[in-house]
Structure 1
Amino acid sequence: MSVEAQAPPTRGRLPLGVYLLALSLFAMGSAEFLLAGVLPAIAADLDISLSAAGALISAFAAGVVVGGPPLAILTLRWPRRTTLVATQAVFAVCLAIGLVTDDYAVIVLTRFVCGLAYAGYWAVAAVTAISLVTPDRTARASGVVVSGLSIAMIAGGPAGALLSYFTGWRGGFWAVAILTIAAAVLTMVALPATSASGVPSVRAELQTMRRPQLWVVFAITLLSTAAYMISFNYLAAFLTSITGVPPVWVPAILTLFGVGAFAGLSVGGRVADRKPTRALLAGAVGIAATSALLALLSRNVVAVVALVLLLGVAGFILNPAIYGRVFTLAAKAPTLAGATTVSAFQLGISLVPGLAGVALNAGAGLTSVIWIGAALAVATVPLILLDRRHTT
């Protein structure tokens, strides 16, 4: 087994390596958010139905859900920097293969493998970030890394879709592949070498996963993610059909959600290191309150615009606390726990279409989808209170 020298955790400002991990996650995450914006173009180019094109989203999501934990075990004894660069390389290569073929089955397969690589990178990136800082800044470092996803949501996806508008749907994805390779090179050059504090042990990782408290946090992750994402995924239709917002303004309003998400991560990262339960409760209660107000004030444009921003804040203020709790509970064997957290995030997102579909297929209006988000957030609160009993 190759061994890397352990980079000492730093105090004061967060180290450059944490921001480099966020940049890499931004690059890879942009591919996830970009796809939804070019589905019609993909369907037309490949001569497939829109639902078949939508299966590319599901393939990527399936790869993320199932990929994290197995890859965490398979690469446990690898140097972390090696794992990061390897997953970035696999992601970029598979993305490129999908761009040079018109074979639908091959493209679906490459999307699935991209999801696997993405999950593997995300899991190891979170563990690497906390190894670069002192324990009192674990949640803040995790929040910065995850902020790469919020920036991908508000900038990477839309920018890639705009590029694809002028160059064809493949253009945005080529930009993602190039940026991912560039980030991999920077990782090799600039990221400090880190390794586990002791000899990595699959048995220790599996034993850690037997802790009931961890599964409480995983449940919090799944429910809270579904709570805000179910509203976000249907915001465009909600804004135009219920609130009466002209379609031209919808992208700008959706961007406010991403701005709020970035603010929530910034605030949550600072609060969660000292008072994780407070950050978790603020997020869950905030999602419930803003969702309920969105439903009740659905025809008030000014109120809805403000609430979209606040929903982003509430939805992401608890993410650093989630990672902080996971890495506190799994301090001696964090890799598999971190990977399972990634899977819980993605599973929460993946459940959204099914939950919304039940309501919409039953004849309920779009407002019912927002109420489901509020209910999921309320259901998260008892789990947070249960976790508080084990907060040190």
Structure 2
Amino acid sequence: MTSAASPSPTTGQGPTVGPSPEHDGSAPVLTEKVKLPPVVWLLGAITFIMGTSEMIVTGLLPQLSGALGVSVSSAGMLITVFAVGMMIGAPVMSLATLRLPRRNALIAALLVFAAGHVVGALSSGLGLAMVGRFAAALGNGTFWAVGAVIATAAAGPAAGTRAMGVMVGGTTLANVVGVPLGTAAGQLSGWQTPFWVLAALAVVAAAVIVRQVPADRGGADSTLRTETTSLKHPRLWLVYLAIALIQGGVMAAYSYVALLLTDRAGLAEAAVPLAMLGFGAGALAGTTLGGRRGDSKPYGTLIPATSATAAILAAITLWATNSVLAVVLVVLLGAAGFATNPVVVGEVVRVAGAGRALPMALATSAFQVGIALGSWLGGAALTSALSLQGPPLTGMVLALLALVPLGLLAASRRKAGTVTQS
């Protein structure tokens, strides 16, 4: 894998600016828009497959519980084990594939992902199904860790956040299109159908990577020491903290959005999927906007978007008793909350340096920590005296807390820029 300062194997042209000194986030920014290389769009398309897999179980829990002979809550463990696989597996697998050429690591990740879905489709009991989900999560986490490195290095420092916007956008589009289609297919032709389709698509994607992604030296110059050394930057851990808190803030409310819309706002149950589709559309718009603005104004994007997220969650807490207003606020939550995702991942690259798989894997883990934290705290608040106001109120607090590390990061970036100019 070439560094961000050297010619990209996918474009043949190097970026016109290099990484900032010691990756302090003060890199110069080009004003001319850089065209993203085809490999970025290819990886974004594959994240659509990955994102569909991650959330497909949520729509098939009744069918899975019946087929596996367990309760719905027990079948829900398939969601938990996937999150754990992503959280733990991403950094572990990034180290396990450290010396592999990046293209080979991507192919291996997709084949493991496909195998996990085959195991899942053939399962007749919960235990084997959980093994399949864990394997799929390992493949997913590895793909994200390695794919993000390839995408950002190919795009160069001037367009790294836009590249991440494309990859995150693939996952967001999966929630808007892939998950509903997969759920419908599972309901009409059996829950195994989406598993088989995802396995087949992963194999096809691996074949496309063989043909479209040039061979590379990969991590030949990477060692455990160089990967762990990149984790010593305090700024990096502030970025991870911000990722977890922002994601937790959004998920604290969104995990219980159906209850918020029906029991509090009075929305008809049949209209909830449309509201969730609106959330997905808002998330896609936010991801696109964040990806476009994040390279030139990372903290000028992150801080307003996170502040807007907190304000929207406050509005949901106070005023989401009308169905129309509640749906509008849910759509806005998707836009504001997801506008931060490509930017924070781009900041991981800026701080840790291009070509580092372990920091990218830990970013994936930070997102999963946020999902787990937000869902858990939101559920606890729901069962408290706060009732249906609890989840959005909890999300608001988490979003406000995220402004602390973001403020410290912005101040550090301004200080580094002042020192560089002096």
TM-score (normalised: structure 2): 0.89
- Within 5 Å, give how 1:51-130 maps onto structure 2: 51-130=73-152
**Match for residue 214 of structure 1?**
236
The amino acid across from 1:225 in the alignment is Q
* Residue type of the alignment partner of 1:264: G
Residues 1:142 and 1:360: Cα distance change in structure 2 (over 3 Å): same
Amino acid in the other structure paired with 1:349: I
Q: 1:179 to 1:152 in 2, by over 3 A?
A: same
Corresponding residue to 2:165 among 143, 148, 157 = 143
Correspondence 1:311 to 2:333: yes
Deviations 1:98-127 (A, max 9, x none): 211203211111111211111111111111
SS of the residue 1:245 aligns to: coil
- Note closer, same or farther for the CA distance 1:72–1:237 as it changes in structure 2 (3 Å cut): same
Match of residue 297 from structure 1: 319
Quick one: which amino acid aligns to residue 335 of structure 1? A
Equivalent residue number for residue 58 of structure 2:
36
Structure 2, unmatched stretches of 5+, are 2-7, 16-33, 418-422
Task: Give 1:364 shift.
Answer: 2.7
Aligned partner of 1:6 among 4, 9, 16: 9
- Matching of residues 240-255 of structure 1 within 5 Å: 240-255=262-277
Aligned to 1:374: 396
Q: Quote the residue 2:284 is aligned against.
A: 262
Segment drifting more, 190-199 vs 131-140: 190-199
Moved more, 378-387 or 301-310: 301-310
Q: CA deviation at 1:186?
A: 1.2
Whole-Å separation in 1 of the counterparts to 2:313 and 2:122: 42
2:190 alignment partner, one of 154, 168, 180: 168
Are the aligned partners of 1:21 and 1:125 in contact in 2 as well (CA < 8 Å)? yes
CA contact 2:103–2:218 (8 Å) conserved in 1: no
For the residues of structure 2 that align with 1:259 and 1:174, how far apart are their CA atoms?
27
Give the equivalent residue in structure 2 for 1:152.
174
How many Å apart are 1:349 and its aligned residue?
A: 0.6
Give the secondary structure class of the aligned counterpart of 1:164.
helix
- Counterpart in the other structure of 2:227: 205
In the superposition, relative to structure 1, how do residues 9 and 306 fare at CA in structure 2: closer, same or farther (>3 Å)?
A: farther
Q: Distance in 2 between matches of 1:64 and 1:197?
A: 21
Q: Which moved more, 1:80-89 or 1:289-298?
A: 289-298
**Equivalent in 331, 335, 338 of residue 357 of structure 2:** 335
SS at match of 1:136: coil
Match of 2:253 among 221, 231, 234: 231
Q: Work out whether residues 88 and 180 of structure 1, in 8 Å CA contact, stay in contact via their aligned partners in 2.
A: yes
- Give the paired residue count: 390
Unaligned 5+ runs, structure 1: none
Equivalent-residue separation in structure 2 for 1:83 and 1:321 (angstroms): 25
Instruction: Report deviation, 1:389.
Output: 2.5
**CA–CA distance in structure 2, aligned partners of residues 9 and 366 of structure 1:** 54
* 8 Å contact kept, 2:382–2:389: no
Counterpart in 2 of 1:352?
Answer: 374
**Aligned equivalents of 1:10, 1:252: Cα separation in 2:** 44
Q: TM-score, normalised by structure 1?
A: 0.95
